[in-house]
């Protein structure tokens, strides 16, 4: 997924996920490139806020299934390194001291939904869908910090319902439950997201950065969250070595419902 960065040297930088032919699904190299793009925005003192958008008809469909299969077949030590890439990117976005705004159209699934929810503001086009689909792939719902990202917006019980069922949430429902901050016509998406990013620039950068650090501390950064994410990483590593993911990938290839090990059909 080519990653384009525009607006460096100006108050609002724009990061575009630019592989519309594959709905901006990401590979390992794409995750590295996006991480580097965020780092460039972080390091540029002239950039006050960051907008993240997807080219074409989707924001980001999450990990390319070829990447999932590739990671599943890696030796355990290499698998652990590969699985750390998406959470590290999401974490960089969430902890970025500059305000961030996601402009989401079409699908934002799996890791793509986490990239959007890691931003401070989430602006949805009317056709947007947030897909918290991990359990449908036989994976724990906490991939890429999803448990924290969803819980901090809507609470743990509502997060449980969405993550346990691998829910796909419409734009209107996402706004209503608090997963998003604004819903706009698709034609106005970039304009609305850019306006939100620019609005932050009317406040001093040091005050915004301090405020963000304060909120993150209340949300567990530096205390319980670090241990929780480490535990989730180990659970994800175990899941990639388990039979459920293999069955989910086979079911998708064969276009049939998955038959989960240990479960009776029906």
Domain residue ranges of the chain, discontinuous segments joined by +: 3-206
For the chain, give the mean pLDDT.
93
Confidence (pLDDT) at 66: 87
pTM listed for this prediction: 0.94
What's the average model confidence in pLDDT over 225-231? 84
What pLDDT does residue 54 have? 97
Among residues 93, 50, 48, the alpha carbon closest in space to that of 205 is found at 48
pLDDT at 6 over 60: yes
HSE (CB half, 13 Å, CA atoms) of 180?
A: 27
Percent of the chain with pLDDT over 70: 98
Question: Cβ(189)–Cβ(125) under 8 Å?
Answer: yes
The mean pLDDT of 228-249, rounded to a whole number, is: 90
Q: What is the pLDDT of residues 132-171, one digit of tens each?
A: 999 999 999 988 999 999 999 999 999 999 999 999 999 9
State the CATH architecture for 3-206. Answer: Alpha-Beta Complex (3.90)
pLDDT tier, 117 (very low <50, low <70, confident <90, very high otherwise): very high
């Amino acid at each position: 997924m080519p990653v384009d960065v525009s607006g460096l040297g100006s108050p609002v930088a724009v990061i575009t996920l630019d592989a519309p032919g594959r709905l901006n699904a990401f590979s390992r190299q794409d995750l590295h490139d996006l991480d580097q793009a965020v780092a460039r925005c972080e390091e540029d003192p002239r950039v006050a806020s960051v907008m993240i958008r997807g080219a074409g008809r989707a924001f980001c469909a999450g990990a390319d299934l070829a990447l999932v299969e590739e990671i599943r077949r890696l030796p355990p030590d290499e698998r652990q390194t590969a699985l750390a890439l998406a959470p590290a990117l999401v974490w960089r976005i969430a902890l970025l001291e500059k305000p961030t705004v996601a402009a989401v159209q079409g699908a934002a699934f799996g890791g793509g939904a986490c990239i959007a929810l890691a931003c401070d503001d989430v602006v949805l086009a009317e056709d947007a869908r947030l897909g918290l689909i991990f359990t449908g792939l036989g994976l724990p719902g906490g991939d890429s910090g999803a448990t924290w990202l969803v819980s901090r917006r809507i609470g743990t019980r509502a997060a449980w319902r969405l993550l346990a069922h691998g829910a796909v949430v419409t734009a209107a429902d996402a706004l209503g439950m608090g997963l998003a901050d604004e819903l706009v016509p698709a034609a106005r998406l970039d304009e609305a997201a850019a306006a939100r990013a620019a609005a932050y620039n009317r406040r001093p950068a040091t005050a915004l950065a301090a405020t963000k650090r304060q909120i993150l501390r209340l949300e567990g950064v530096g205390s319980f969250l670090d241990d929780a994410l480490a535990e989730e990483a180990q659970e994800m590593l175990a899941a990639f070595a388990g039979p459920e993911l293999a069955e989910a990938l086979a079911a998708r290839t064969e276009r049939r419902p998955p038959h989960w090990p240990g479960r009776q059909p029906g």
